[in-house]
Amino acid sequence: MPRAVVAPVVPRDGPVRRLPITGYIMALSWSPEFCHAPRTGARGRALQCSGRNGRFGLVVHGFWPESGRTWPQWCPTDIRPTGLEIARQLCLSPSAAMVARQWAKHGACMTRRPETYYKVVRILWNSYRLPDLDRLSRQDGLTVGDVRRAFADPNGGWEPNMVGIRTSKSGWLEELQLCYDRHFRPEPCDSRRFGPPDTEPIKIWRGL
């Protein structure tokens, strides 16, 4: 992975919302599905999807503050992350544009400096025992509940109802959304984040 990158400029594309923080979401995207699904901007996805930097599994899409049924965003700041700070995140979030955007849209509502925001993301990421979703994908009759338990069982303090699931329209796993309270403790996801019921079938693309 590059040791430094040019820090992208992130234009604001939505309203400023300064709101009290009531919790957080750690969104872990399933990279094989992201890279498999048809999308525009293939050049911008090369770091994650070309294979030149290895194959990624779960990656950090973002760490987001919540505020009841909505969320804070685009809190004004003149501080931008450096290329070195962005490069340090690329092994867990393999897109410089995504890393820069997560600070500009979400992190600036949580901390004063991007280095603090990124440090919190790394601490939480390093606390997880990630499931082997490649192996799980081969299980007959796989359900959404099986995926939730695969994350919750090896991670102390987590229960399946604290693991939100996002799937594509055709039932492929896209993302885990891990729900926290405002003290960074796991908590049950609300209906907006929880996703499909445990009994719903799910498929996991292995990238083959």
State the average pLDDT over residues 180-186.
Answer: 97
pLDDT tens per residue, range 13-28:
999 999 999 999 999 9
Q: Distance (Å, rounded) from C-alpha 146 to C-alpha 148?
A: 5
**What share of the chain has pLDDT > 70, as a percent?**
96
The mean of the pLDDT values for the chain is: 94
Q: Is the pLDDT of residue 159 over 90?
A: yes
| pLDDT value at residue 53 | 81
| pLDDT value at residue 136 | 97
pLDDT tens per residue, range 43-100:
668 889 988 888 899 999 999 999 998 999 999 999 999 999 999 999 999 999 999 9
